[in-house]
Amino acid sequence: MPVAIRAEHLRKVYPHSPAGVAALEDLSLEVPTGRVYGLIGRNGAGKTTFVRVCATQLTLSGGTVSVLGHDLEREERAIRARIACIPQESRPLYFLTVEEVVYLYLKMRGIDRTEARRRTRDALEELSLTEYRRRMVSRLSGGLRRRTLCAMVLASDADLLFLDEPTTGLDPIARRQVWEAIRRTSREHRTIVLTTHYLDEAESLSARLALIERGRLVLEGTPADLRARVRYPYRVTIQGAFPRAELESYGRVAEIEGGLLLFTREAEAREVARKALERNVRLSMGPVSLEDIFLEVVGRSIEEETPREEAEA
């Protein structure tokens, strides 16, 4: 499969960062063309840094990247012409209307007038912004501004889109409209790098996912690959009397509202289900969510890296 981004051994140390702490540390990954690639990880993990490097906004301290077949260091201009980006924190220009912002952005990208008009109309429609089209951006709510940015970028003809938390602050209906627009863009064989803290969103949109922690790649693959790599790929919810100690022999147990939650393997999940049935205890089971995987993998990495004295403090 052709590759949209090939990043090898990336290292980024920001100027003045304390004790030369790297925001990216030996990060290598490949983003396939024509799909949605999800970037997940805790605050400060390095997701935005990665996006900004690939979008030619930051220089690297080490490593190499090729974007759409162009070398990042030597062919910055060629890359810029073919990408579009929603930065994590940004606002569209205040003194224009919603319609003007989208239209002028497309014109700036070299799209002709008729096509830019058509794309503007479709994008506003797609994100339910038509009724606000003559409104000044400065008078919009925060979520509507974010939606306007999404419309701009998703209406573009860029081959590679970087969406850094596009749906943060959007209401549930607007979020779903952005998801649909993302899916539509990916059906057009364009590539999307999507950063999000909504793991349901990451999972439902992304063909592949990268979990970044402290500037390093800790897990990468399709959602199914990620499940196959965790210790306990099943989650079992038990509501009723089931001794916790007994459950603990099957895996990891946590307390939840009105019952217990068990993370375990498939055979053990079946065994527990059989016992619950015999004892008339309510139970539901299924594969772990991406959020469970995140908590397990990142939780373990925090435990491993926290010095003992600090952990005990």
222: contact with ligand ATP by CB under 6 A: no
Closest CB to Mg ion among residues 86, 123: 86
43: contact with ligand ATP by CB under 6 A: yes
List Cβ neighbours of 298 (8 Å cut-off, separation of 6 or more).
41, 42, 211, 213, 218
48: contact with Mg ion by CB under 5 A: yes
CB of 52 to Mg ion, least distance (A): 9
CB of 16 to ligand ATP, least distance (A): 7
List Cβ neighbours of 262 (8 Å cut-off, separation of 6 or more).
235, 236, 237, 238, 247, 250, 251, 252, 253, 269, 272
146: contact with ligand ATP by CB under 6 A: no
Judged by CB under 6 A, which stretch of 28-36, 47-55, 131-139, 151-159 contacts ligand ATP?
A: 47-55
CB of 200 to Mg ion, least distance (A): 19
Half-sphere exposure of 22 (CA within 13 A, CB side): 16
Q: Number of residues in contact with Mg ion, rule: CB under 5 A?
A: 3
Among ligand ATP, Mg ion, none, partner that 46 touches (CB below 5 to 8 angstroms by kind): ligand ATP
46: contact with ligand ATP by CB under 6 A: yes
CB of 307 to ligand ATP, least distance (A): 18
45: contact with ligand ATP by CB under 6 A: yes
Binding mask 76-105 for ligand ATP (x = CB under 6 A): ------------x-----------------
Among ligand ATP, Mg ion, none, partner that 23 touches (CB below 5 to 8 angstroms by kind): ligand ATP
88: contact with Mg ion by CB under 5 A: yes
48: contact with ligand ATP by CB under 6 A: yes
Q: What angle do CA 201, 208, 90 make, to 5 degrees?
A: 50
From candidates 3, 6, 9, 14, binder to ligand ATP by CB under 6 A = 14
From candidates 25, 49, 63, 235, binder to ligand ATP by CB under 6 A = 49
Q: Are 16 and 73 in contact (CB under 8 A)?
A: no
| Enclosing H/E stretch for 27 | strand 24-32
Q: Which residue is nearest to Mg ion (CB)?
A: 48
Contacts of 222-226 spanning 24+ positions with Cβ under 8 A: 223/290, 226/290, 226/293
The C-alpha torsion from 240 through 242 and 248 to 249, rounded to 10°, is: -140
Q: Strand, coil or helix: what is 40?
A: strand
Q: Are 281 and 190 in contact (CB under 8 A)?
A: no
C-beta atoms surrounding 197 within 10 Å: 15
167: contact with ligand ATP by CB under 6 A: no
Residues in the chain: 313
Closest CB to Mg ion among residues 47, 119: 47
47: contact with ligand ATP by CB under 6 A: yes
* CA distance readout (Å), 255 to 4, 239, 272, 279, 280: 43, 10, 16, 20, 20
Show contacts with Mg ion in window 201-240 (CB under 5 A): none
- Cα–Cα distance between 87 and 193 in angstroms, integer? 12
Closest CB to Mg ion among residues 42, 227: 42
- Cα–Cα distance between 262 and 231 in angstroms, integer? 12
Q: Are 162 and 83 in contact (CB under 8 A)?
A: yes
What is the contact surface with Mg ion in residues (CB under 5 A)? 47-48, 88
